[in-house]
Each structure stands twice: as structure tokens, then as C-alpha cells.
Amino acid sequence: MCGILAVLGCADASRAKRVRVLELSRRLKHRGPDWSGLHQHGDCYLAHQRLAIVDPASGDQPLFNEDKSVIVTVNGEIYNHEDLRKQLPNHTFRTGSDCDVIAHLYEEYGEDFVDMLDGIFSFVLLDTRDNSYIVARDAIGVTSLYIGWGLDGSVWISSEMKGLNDDCEHFECFPPGHLYSSKNGGFRRWYNPLWYSEAIPSAPYDPIVLRQAFEKAVIKRLMTDVPFGVLLSGGLDSSLVASITSRYLATTKAAEQWGSKLHSFCVGLEGSPDLKAGKEVADYLGTVHHEFTFTVQDGIDAIEDVIYHVETYDVTTIRASTPMFLMSRKIKSLGVKWVISGEGSDEIFGGYLYFHKAPNKEEFHRETCRKIKALYQYDCLRANKSTFAWGLEARVPFLDKEFINVAMNIDPANKMINLDEGRIEKYILRKAFDDEEHPYLPKHILFRQKEQFSDGVGYSWIDGLKAHAAKHVTDKMMRNAANIYPHNTPSTKEGYYYRMIFERFFPQNSARLTVPGGPTVACSTAKAVEWDAAWSKNLDPSGRAALGVHASAYENQNNSVNKSIEFEKIIPLEASSVGVAIQT
């Protein structure tokens, strides 16, 4: 993938404007250090910073159709590009790039081709025959994208906010699953799955169907002409991704080029839960495992860089982005250009610990829908930008369109947590891969309690951030917080500290409006905070804020909570399987 920037319909077509576009495009160079390109057609500019993964020799952008009347700049991976090429027998392709199909699909199908793309993408397509253009973003928003408007009537598109914030009168996040058309003068949603309406599904749970759908999602992402690896924290999601990749790698084209030995990567504070669990899974799977440790001070020193690159002041995103940012730099230094990661599972299956308190299957399902729709503002934003800060791409198979359709069509009663029946969070995903004959993972890993990434790297990470913020933000500053920051007013010193840094980099009102707000507990939406009255007094995005649920919940509040959930007493999942023992 890459970084894109486009200026469409600007009043100035001078040499100075071209120089300015090049200057702004260079702000995205970290996303694509391998090559840069810029194409101007009249009052339109399409710029590109390339991270070469498929066809690195000839896939430079912008891309064109046969007579160069259609121009495309794209940040993405199109996993079904070979099948799409077969559907275009009368077209001649200039490169072997997976994104080369976009211009030709547009020629055949007009604006309605976007749903044919199986992958992740953000692109700008310019049709020079009538000077029209379309812009589109992938279904869930795995790729980052912003849109802005200039005083001269121009439309700006950029992979990151820093590419357009200084030159636009107003800008905002480009909505996932949408298309913007100059012919129609606005947005329309091209992605319309059944779950989007939040209607309650009723399909029965079939573990084999779920397993096969996820294996297919992982395998299709092994499309590469460059070295890659997997992020392995030792939690359920990353471990499943690593296990499937390891199991099927030898049968792929990637193995022919780079061998069948899988490299895995983990980050954490010395002695953290993730480092221990990650190594255990790596040893079980036989991967070439790389551990990276950091100190709390290392993380604190990186906070300003993280906020600049990730472009948010959301507390939980910054907490989790910092270790990922530090790890990505180390991974890139080893010559690896992309990794597979486990984002999205918790949103689809209700894996966050607060889902223990979901009152019924209807509210459980609606919350998963809300979480998936908001991913582009949280985990997708983190996974995309904290890795691309170092020119590293992250692929996320849990957010595969086909897999989401399968998983979100299951009757949510099957996803509900019921400890009396031994059903912990993400139970149906765990059971789908609970294969006695050919085990994917050790039992205790397959049924390990959920740890949010910012917790799993070491609990003292968050505690250290809070202590650091307390040194820089006074009580007096907090008393005046609502006057200084009336929108999304920080409620903690940690939040205030991040906000100060963000506003220094991105002072525009449009910038602060791109960041979500509202109360949250253990990464819940504001609506789910209503599930437990005690949570409104303990608003913190850490999983340890799920009082009475997390085995290491904040100790100073444990005594006041009615511990209706006792992990030490979880009954066996089945007579043939082991129970889950969580250390307290």
C-alpha cells in the first residue's frame, strides 16, 4: 500500500501549485518510501508515494488505462485482481500491480465496479474525457483517507490529515464504504451488507463454516512479492492468524519466493503478558520469533511522534499505538515490508470484556455493529498509521468482507457470554478452531482471557502514562478544560496531555472534529456504558476498567464491586476439554 494525495478542480494550474502539491505529498513519504509520482491534467493533480509489495519493478503510480484517458492513484491491496483480470479479456494491462484493474473496471462498469473489489483500498480516479472523478474507500476503512475543500472550490483527498490540513478551509474523514462522485456532487454508500441495518440475524452457528471462512481470509492475504511476517501477541486473535498462516504458507506462491518459514513479532515491557504468551505460541508453531522490549520511558519519549503520525487524541488509541509504532520500526529494519495482524475480531464477536454485561442478544448484536462501523476511527486507524509511519503495511483478515458477512449473520445468542455454561468471550471463534486431531493452538492459549493490546504489553505502561501526564497537567488546568477544549473536553489529565500535543500539530477546528469522543469503559461505545451503573463512575478505556470481569481489574476499586463473575470458577467448556484458569 501507499500514500495518496489529490487536488481536484483547483483554480491555480501554475508551476507554483505543482511545487506545493509535491511538497504536501512529501508529508506522506513515510507511507511509501519506494517511489513517488505526480500526474497533472489541467486543474487536477494526482500524487502518489509507493510502498512496493506486488510487482515492485513496474507497478509505479499513478496508473492508467490503455490510452491514458483514465488515471488512478490508489492506496490498497486488491486480493482478487487475478480473477478480475480474467473478466477483462479485451483490456491490456501496463503492469502486474494488483491495483491495475481499477481503471479498466471503470471503463467496463462505470462507477458501479467498486463492490467487485475484494481487498482494502482508497483511490482517486480521474476520467480526462469529461474531467469527472470518483473517490472511494474500502468497506470498513482499513485504509485511512481524508477529504477537504478549498476556498477556490477545489476538492482535496489525502491518505493522512497532514497532507491537506494546511490548505483546506474544511476537511473531514472520508467515510468507509462510500464513494464520492463529481458527477453526483456528493457521497453515496457502495457497501450495503445485511448487518449494517443492525437487524438481528438468525443463521445457526456452524463452526466449520466459520473456520473455513477465516482460513480463506488469511490465505488470500498471503499475496506478496516481498518479505512479510505476523504480529503475535499470544492472544487468541493474533495466535489464530499466525497458526493459519503457518499451516498454509507452504502451499502459496509467497513460499516459492521467500520460503515457508514464518517470522513472527511481539512487543512488550520486560516480563509482560504478551511477551510470555507470544513466545509460547511461536515455539508451538515453530516460527522464527522476534521479541522487542521497550521501557515506559521509551514509550513516553515517542508520544509526540505517535500523535503526529496517528493523528488522534483518543486515549486508548494512543496507548495502543505507541508500542505498535515502536515495534514497526524494528520490524522494518529487518527488511520486512508487511505484516498480518488480528484487529477486528473483538468487534465482530463481542470480545471486549464489557460484553459480559450485555443485557440480551439484541443489544449484544447492535453493539458489535456499532463497534465495526467505528473501527476506522480506532483500531483501523492505529493499525494503519502506526505501521505506515515506518513504511510497513498491516493486513487484517478478520475484516475481510466475506468473513464479516459469515460471522455477522450468526444468531447473536451464540456469541453471548454465559459463564454458567462455560462460554467465555469469543466462544464461537474459539470452538471453531478447537480441533482435537489437528490442533491449531494449545488449549490454554485458545481459551486465554482477552487482553487489550495496551494492557497486554504490560500493565505498568498505562500506569506510567498516567503518572507522566499528572506531572504536566495541573488540577487548575483540568478545572478550565471545558473552556480551553469545549469540544470533546478531556476528562483526565492523560487525555488533556494528549490533546495539547495534538492541537500543536493540528490546530484547525476540522482536525479536532475528526476524533471521536464520548464516555467509554474498556473500549465500549457510549451506549454500552449504560449496561452497568457502576461503569459510569469508572470511565477508562483499559480492559481493567471492566470491574468484576477482568482478572486484574483496578485493585483500588475491586472491593466496591459485586463480583458476580468469578473467573477462578469457570466450569469446563466440555467434558473433553480443559477449564480456563486465570491468575489473579
CATH class of the region 207-463: alpha beta
523 annotated active-site: no
Residue 547 confidence (pLDDT): 54
The angle at the Cα of 500, spanning 495 to 505, to the nearest 5 degrees, equals 125
Residue 555 confidence (pLDDT): 45
- Asked if 98 and 119 touch (Cβ cutoff 8 Å), the reply is yes
Pick the CATH number of 3-192 from 3.40.50.150, 2.10.25.10, 3.40.50.1010, 3.60.20.10: 3.60.20.10
96 annotated as a binding-site residue: no
- Amino acid residing at 415: K
341 annotated as a binding-site residue: yes
Peptide bond into 62 cis (omega under 30): yes
Residue 486 confidence (pLDDT): 97
Residue-wise pLDDT tens digits, 465-478 = 999 999 999 999 99
Per DSSP, the three-state class of 391 is: coil
Residue-wise pLDDT tens digits, 272-316 = 888 999 999 999 999 999 999 999 999 999 999 999 999 999 999
Q: In the chain, what are the domain boundaries?
A: 3-192, 207-463
The angle at the Cα of 409, spanning 405 to 410, to the nearest 5 degrees, equals 130
> Which segments in the chain show pLDDT lower than 70?
1, 57-59, 450-458, 539-584
Q: At what angle do helices 296-310 and 315-333 cross, to 10 degrees?
A: 100
Count of CB atoms within 10 A of residue 236's CB?
A: 27
* Strand order from edge to edge, sheet including 44-50: 35-41, 44-50, 2-8, 155-158, 146-149, 170-173
Question: Rounded to an integer, what distance in angstroms lies between the CA atom of residue 214 and that of residue 525?
Answer: 26
Question: Rounded to an integer, what distance in angstroms lies between the CA atom of residue 155 and that of residue 152?
Answer: 9
Residue 52 confidence (pLDDT): 78
Residue 556 confidence (pLDDT): 45
98 annotated as a binding-site residue: yes
Residue-wise pLDDT tens digits, 91-116 = 999 888 899 999 999 999 999 999 99
Task: Report pTM.
Answer: 0.91
Residue 362 confidence (pLDDT): 97
Q: Which residue has the cell 470458577?
A: 569
Residue 564 confidence (pLDDT): 30
Nearest to 372 by CA among 213, 164, 580, 198: 198
Q: Please measure the distance between the N-terminal and C-terminal CA atoms of the chain and give it in whole angstroms.
A: 42
- Asked if 47 and 22 touch (Cβ cutoff 8 Å), the reply is yes
Element (H, E) at 338: strand 338-340
From the candidates 2, 44, 168, 266, give the one annotated as an active-site residue.
2
333 annotated as a binding-site residue: no
Count of CB atoms within 10 A of residue 90's CB?
A: 8
Q: Which residue has the cell 505526480?
A: 38
Cell numbers representing residue 526 in the block? 457510549
